[in-house]
Structure 1
Amino acid sequence: MIHPSRGRTLLAGTAVLMLALSACGDGTEAEDPAQDTAEQNDTEDQGDQETGEDSAAGPVIAEAELADQAGTPIGTVIVSEAGEGVVELHAEITDMEPGFRGISIHEAGLCEIQSADEYGQVGDFFSAGPHLAGEPEEESGVAEGEEAPEGLETDPELPPDVEPEEQAEIFHPDHAGALPNLLITEEGTGNLTVMSDRLDEDLLLDGDGSAVIVHAQADNAGNVPDRYAPEGPDYETLTTGDAGGRAACGVFEGA
C-alpha cells in the first residue's frame, strides 16, 4: 500500500520529468528572453552605425572632414542637434602630433593652403577667415578680467591702412566659434565633445559656409592675467587666442 503523501510526491515528480522531456525532446533549446533582447539591441546599433544619419545626441546637421597642409585626412567633426537651441559638436582626431591644441570654427567654408585672409596676409588655411564671431547676447557670461581693454583700437599685426572699424568687434571669449582645447594623446588621437548654444545650422551653413580649424598650439581664450600683461591682452591674443598656425582644416557640409 502506498501512503497518500508519498503518492502525491511520485505524481509531482513524474509531472516534472514529463515537462522536462517535452521541453528538450525535439532537440531544441529553450529560448532565453534576455539573449533575444541583447541580440535585438545589437542589430539596432549596427543599423544606426551603417546609416550614419544620427548621432547619440540627435540628427546630424553638419559634418567636416579634417585634413592637414599635405591634404592627409586626420579626423572628422560632426555637429548634431542636442535639444532646443543647443547643438553637440564632436571632434575625433586620428593622426596628429601630441599636445593641447586650439580648435575653432571659422567664418568661411574654404580650406586652402598658402591662401590670403581678408587683409591680404598669407598663410595655411587663411582662406577660412577669422573665428566665427556670431552675435552673442550683451550678457554672455564673460568672466571678470576677460573683457577687451577699453583702449584697444588697432591691431599692430595688420596692415596700417586697415581702419579700426574694419577690424573685429567681438573678441575672445565671446566668439561663437571658440571651443575648448583639444588634447591629442601620445598615440596621436584625440576626442572632444562640446555642447553649445552659440552655434546652429543657419550659422554654420550660411552663404559663406564655415570651416573648423585645428591649431598648432593651445588657445588661451584671451585670458592673460594682468601680472603678465598689465595693459591687458593685445589684439592678436583677443582674436586668435595665441593658438599659433593652422595645422588642419575642414569645411562643414550639410548632412
Structure 2
Amino acid sequence: MKNTSRTSRFGLASTVTLLAAFALAGCGEEDPGEGVEGDTGTEQTSPSDADQSAAATAELQNPQGDDLGQVEFYETDDGTEVVVDVQNLDEGFYGLHLHENGECETDSQTPDDPAETGDFLSAGGHIAGEADADHPDHAGDLPALLVNEDNTAQMSVVTNRLEVSELVGQDGAAVMIHSDADNYANVPDRYLDGENPDDDTLSTGDAGDRIGCGVIEG
C-alpha cells in the first residue's frame, strides 16, 4: 500500500512571521519564547496518515485472479475514510462502489435473478442504505476512480453514509470496480428522445461490467 501524505503550503504571511522570529532570536536580548502563546501550527492528519491500523481491508482482484491493489477503511470522527490504492488498470475513469454481499465469485449468479450469471455478480447490488434510494444516493456509491497513465490510482474519501461495522457484519460487503465511468445517473444520450431512465442507469450509473472485486474483511 502506498503511503500518501498531505503537505502544508505556507503563504507569504507565514514566511514573514518566520523571518521576524529568526530576527528576534538573533538579538539575544530576551528569550523569544518568553510570553509567547497560541497555536503551534501542528497540521491535522487523518488516521491513514498517522499510521493507525485500518479497521478493515479489501484485496482487489480481476476475474483472472490478478492483483489489482487494496482498499483500506478507517474510522474517523467525520465518518469512514476509504483509502484506495489500485494498479494494473488502463488509464481512465472507472465506477467504484461498495456492494451488499461479501462474495467475489467469478461466473456467479446475481442473488435477485439466478438466471443471470457473470463475474462477481455474487456480490449483489450497491449497499442501498435507504430502501428506496436510487443511484447515486446509495450508501455504497463512491466517487469515480481515476487511473493515471502509469496504470495506478490512489484516492482517499470520507463518507458518513455508513460505518465500518456495517461492512464486515452479517453478509459482509465487497468493493467493486466497474469497466466504465460512472455517470451518477445523469441522463445519457439515449434518453434525449424522451425515453425514461432504465434500470442500468438508476441502479449503477451505467458503470458497465464488474472487472475488479475485493471482499471487505475486518
Provide the TM-score with structure 2 as the length reference: 0.72
SS, match of residue 138 in structure 2: coil
Pairing of 1:1-255 with structure 2 (within 5 A): 55-56=48-49, 59-84=53-78, 86-118=79-111, 119-120=113-114, 121-135=116-130, 169-224=132-187, 228=192, 230-254=194-218
Q: Distance in 2 between matches of 1:56 and 1:87?
A: 14
Higher strand fraction (1 or 2)? 2
Q: Distance in 1 between matches of 2:197 and 2:157?
A: 26
The number of residue pairs the alignment matches comes to 168
Greater Rg by CA: 1
Cα separation, partners in 2 of 1:229 and 1:62, compared to 1, 3 Å:
farther
Which residue identity is paired with 2:211? A
SS, match of residue 60 in structure 1: coil
Whether contact under 8 Å (1:134, 1:203) holds in the other structure is no
Cα separation, partners in 2 of 1:96 and 1:77, compared to 1, 3 Å:
same
Which residue identity is paired with 1:189? T
SS, match of residue 55 in structure 2: strand
1:13-63 CA-to-partner distances (Å, cap 9, x unmatched) read: xxxxxxxxxxxxxxxxxxxxxxxxxxxxxxxxxxxxxxxxx6227552210
Whether contact under 8 Å (2:74, 2:164) holds in the other structure is no
- Structure 1 unaligned regions, length at least 5: 1-53, 136-167
Which residue identity is paired with 1:134? G
Cα drift, residue 181 of structure 1: 0.5
Higher helix fraction (1 or 2)? 1
Which residue identity is paired with 1:233? P
Cα separation, partners in 2 of 1:212 and 1:229, compared to 1, 3 Å:
farther
Paired-residue identity, %: 45
Q: Distance in 2 between matches of 1:228 and 1:177?
A: 28
1:225-255 CA-to-partner distances (Å, cap 9, x unmatched) read: 697363442222110111110011000000x
Which residue identity is paired with 1:78? E
